[in-house]
Structure 1
Amino acid sequence: MNINNFFHRNWWAIFYFNFKMLPFKQAIKFPFDFYGKVRFPSLKGRVVINCPVTRRMVEFGRAESEIFPSERCIISIKGDLVVNGKGNSFGSGVILEINEGAIMELNNDLLNAPRTKFIIKKGLYIGNHVRISWEGQLFDSNFHYIRNRVTGAIPPIHKEIRIGDYVWIGNRVTLNKGTNIPNHSIVASNSLCNKDYAKEGKEYITIAGSPAKVVAEGYERIFESVEYKLCCELAAKK
């Protein structure tokens, strides 16, 4: 264990959150870990773990570099946080708000960089092995109603966001309501996503722009592996 991480842990938040939100048999294994300053405006909702419980299944506030020093995490759970796997990490300065009646679902190996905002009014599904870079925004709501002055129609303001497996989302990307990112996709930095990009059944797509559209096909991120390390070594020699 990194000694700096040990002393940086927020032990009050670790004990408080686990024993407040989980049954004793789960809480005693401390599946939720917290670093640095944390604020809990509301914990009236539920945490549901649908897999074997282990230590540090979900982390909040870990700062891995001096580029983004530790900042306060704000976590409000009035709906349901569903955990189906382990290895999920949220960087420092994250804002997570799951509203009443909303569901946020995690699977395995989410790595979320600092200062990302999650405001969930209906639903957010995050697949396996997802990477979300710095300062992302995930809002599944317009927050305010609008009316068509001709027809009088008032469209719904909430719609679920879905992120598939092995997706890489660049820095400062915004995912708005109804966004659906298919498996093995790349979302370029500063993109604004607001539709179902999986409806044509394609995977391995690159999405970019504001509003975002498919700009390339057939690419995928090389995740941390032997191949990834080889790419780093070759780049260093150039």
Structure 2
Amino acid sequence: MLKKIFVLIKVSWLYTIYFNFHYLPFSQAIKLPIFLFRPKLLKCKGIIEINSEIIKPGMIRMGGFRVSLYPNTGIVWENHGGKVIFDGNCSIGNASAISIGEKGKIQFGNNFSATASLKLTAFHYIHFKKNVLLAWDIIFMDTSFHRLKDKNNNFVSKGFSPIYIGENNWITAKCVVLPGTKTPDNCTFGAGSILNKDYTNCPDNILLAGNPLTIKAENIFRDSDDDCILYEIKYDE
């Protein structure tokens, strides 16, 4: 109960009310399903859809203070006209920013969680399936914003490609996810990894790490309901 009260105190209510009624149909907006914390709303164009049979207050939270190592700067929201779909519960932590292009699209699967300092740029298409967990300081870019040419002045790249993230993926700290990335279900990515291609030919329940990424372990997964570390009091000398 105290935790719920603490969350309600921290919500930026004026921005939250505006954001819900600006983007959602009245029947959903009146329930305030989206909570904003310290938001900086640069552009509020485009569309938001919530595809869930159950609509409840605060089921989508953006900018909440979750990790003390990053500043409590909430969420930056910049939508130039694209579409964002929430398939259920979503939590995006502090010091994060989302930028959607005029034709961009993001789909967040149910139980999406990003702990802190997520930087997400969607000018084409990014799709997260359900139960995706992102650690600290991760960048998603479905576009490079630029194109390359050969010496004959011909374009050799289109500069964008969709990103598809599989179910039950855990992407750990400081990963960079680039255009064209596709991941299998039940996959873990080691800290500092660069994801830049289709990995769906890899088996499920694996750990991918290194640059370039290689399979480091198989038949493993993170159980987020049972993964606490029990630290010992004894220290190594």
Task: State the match for 1:47 in structure 2.
Answer: 48
Whether the 8 Å contact between 1:109 and 1:129 is mirrored in structure 2 is: yes
The aligned residue for residue 211 of structure 1 is 212
Instruction: Indicate the residue corresponding to 2:82 in structure 1.
Output: 79
* Aligned pairs (5 A) from 1:193-232: 193-198=195-200, 200=201, 202-225=203-226, 228=227, 232=229
Kept after mapping to 1: 8 A contact 2:49/2:86: yes
Structure 1 residues not aligned, in runs of 5+: none
Query: Secondary structure, in 3 states, of the residue corresponding to 1:224?
Result: coil
* 1:181 paired residue among 180, 183, 191: 183
Q: CA deviation at 1:72?
A: 3.4
Once the two structures are TM-superposed, the CA of residue 126 in structure 1 deviates from its matched residue by 0.8
CA distance in 2, matches of 1:175, 1:23: 33
Are the aligned partners of 1:194 and 1:211 in contact in 2 as well (CA < 8 Å)? no
Q: Distance in 2 between matches of 1:44 and 1:69?
A: 27
2:158 is matched with 156
SS in 1 for 2:48: strand
User: C-alpha deviations, 1:30-57, integer Å up to 9, x for none?
Assistant: 110112x211111110001222222222
Aligned length: 230
Cα separation, 2, equivalents of 1:218 and 1:112 = 24
Q: For structure 2, which runs of at least 5 residues remain unmatched after alignment?
A: none
Q: Say whether the 8 Å CA contact 2:139–2:174 is kept in structure 1.
A: yes
TM-score relative to the length of structure 1: 0.89
TM-superposed deviation, 1:224: 1.1
Q: Please, what is the CA RMSD of the aligned residues?
A: 2.0
1:145 is the counterpart of 2:183:
no
TM-score (normalizing by structure 2): 0.90
- Residue 27 (structure 1) aligns with: 29
Moved segments of 4+, more than 4 Å? 235-238
Higher mean C-alpha displacement, 49-58 vs 113-122: 49-58
**Do the aligned partners of 1:194 and 1:212 also contact (CA within 8 Å) in 2?**
no
Contact 1:105–1:125 at 8 Å: present in 2 too?
A: yes
Q: Distance in 2 between matches of 1:211 and 1:137?
A: 17
Q: Which residue of 2 aligns with 1:4?
A: 6
Query: Residues 52 and 88 of structure 2 are in contact (CA less than 8 Å); yes or no, is this contact kept in structure 1?
Result: yes
